[in-house]
């Protein structure tokens, strides 16, 4: 059993447990308990948790340990509003630059997103849809903003994983395509406008599901596959 366990497979099992609501937002993740659970070293558990931290599923609090993220509605709003400023700025700044290579790379990324929407789990598709924005900053040559966008998008990845339907994910992907098409046509102003609208659409789709949405729990139950990870003991 322990032979085919690695940090990535542990990370996947923890994500599955979060999605199946066996681990709740804000819940503490004990390194020792997870290590015993998977019969692996704490070092391997820590590596898995660091992968999950990079993907926005868990956070570490100094001296207190690891927790499943629990972003408040206010924090999410803040992250989306920061993204509107940063990403509109990136697109405005790209005006008049040669973008062929960036456009090719972004189109490849969108193809990956489409494949994930068709075949992969909710966590993978939420990650890839968020990563489009990181990729955009990278392709436009803003290395520092790559880290900023990774951080900002990670703050809402868990919410997107839990509440964004496959249909909404497909719409997001189509909006990415429209942004890239505007860039390709040299219409930076339109790309910028489409980006601002797109971020607003994503924000609204998550808000509806997290606040009201009487059918959200039912939809969650319907979309989540059962998983086998026993609840981590504290």
Q: Is 66 helix (H, G, I), strand (E, B) or coil?
A: strand
Q: How far is the CB of 173 from Zn ion (least distance, A)?
A: 8
Token pair in block for residue 169: 């994910």
Q: How far is the CB of 83 from Zn ion (least distance, A)?
A: 9
Which position's Cβ is nearest Zn ion?
A: 172
Question: By C-beta, is 16 or 113 nearer to Zn ion?
Answer: 113
Q: How far is the CB of 121 from Zn ion (least distance, A)?
A: 18
Beta bridge partners of 65: 61
Q: How many CB atoms lie within 10 A of CB 170?
A: 16
Token pair in block for residue 3: 């032979």
Q: Return the exposure string of 117-148: e unless at least 16 CB atoms fall within 10 Å of the residue's CB, then b.
A: beeebbbbbbbbbbbbbbbbbbbbebeebbee
Q: How far apart are CA 126 and CA 50, in angstroms?
A: 18
Question: By C-beta, is 12 or 175 nearer to Zn ion?
Answer: 175
Q: How far is the CB of 133 from Zn ion (least distance, A)?
A: 6
Token pair in block for residue 18: 């979060």
Q: How far is the CB of 105 from Zn ion (least distance, A)?
A: 16
Question: Which is nearest to 103 in space by CA: 192, 186, 200, 195?
Answer: 186
Q: How far apart are CA 90 and CA 210, in angstroms?
A: 29
Contacts of 221 (CB under 8 A, 6+ apart): none
Question: By C-beta, is 7 or 56 nearer to Zn ion?
Answer: 56
Question: By C-beta, is 11 or 194 nearer to Zn ion?
Answer: 194
Nearest 5°: phi and psi at 186? 80, 10
Q: How far is the CB of 151 from Zn ion (least distance, A)?
A: 16
> Which residues of this protein are in contact with Zn ion, per CB under 5 A?
172
Question: By C-beta, is 16 or 131 nearer to Zn ion?
Answer: 131
């Amino acid at each position: 059993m322990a032979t085919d366990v690695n940090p990535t497979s542990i990370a996947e099992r923890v994500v599955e447990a979060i999605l199946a609501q066996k681990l709740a937002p804000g819940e503490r993740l004990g390194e020792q308990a997870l290590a015993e659970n998977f019969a692996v070293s704490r070092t391997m558990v820590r590596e898995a948790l660091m992968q999950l931290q990079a993907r926005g599923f868990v956070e570490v609090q100094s001296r207190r340990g690891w927790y499943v993220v629990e972003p408040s509605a206010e924090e999410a709003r803040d992250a989306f509003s920061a993204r509107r400023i940063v990403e509109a700025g990136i697109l405005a700044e790209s005006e008049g630059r040669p973008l062929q290579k960036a456009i090719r790379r972004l189109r490849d990324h969108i193809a990956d997103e489409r494949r994930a929407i068709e075949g992969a789990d909710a966590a993978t598709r939420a990650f890839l849809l968020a990563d489009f924005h990181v990729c955009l900053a990278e392709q436009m040559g803003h290395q520092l903003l790559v880290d900023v966008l990774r951080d900002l998008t990670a703050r809402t990845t868990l919410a997107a994983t839990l509440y964004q339907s496959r249909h909404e994910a497909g719409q997001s992907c189509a909006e990415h395509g429209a942004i890239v098409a505007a860039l390709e046509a040299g219409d930076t102003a339109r790309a910028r406008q489409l980006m601002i609208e797109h971020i607003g659409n994503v924000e609204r789709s998550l808000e509806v599901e997290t606040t009201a949405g009487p059918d959200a729990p039912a939809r969650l139950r319907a979309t989540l596959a059962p998983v086998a990870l026993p609840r981590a003991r504290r």
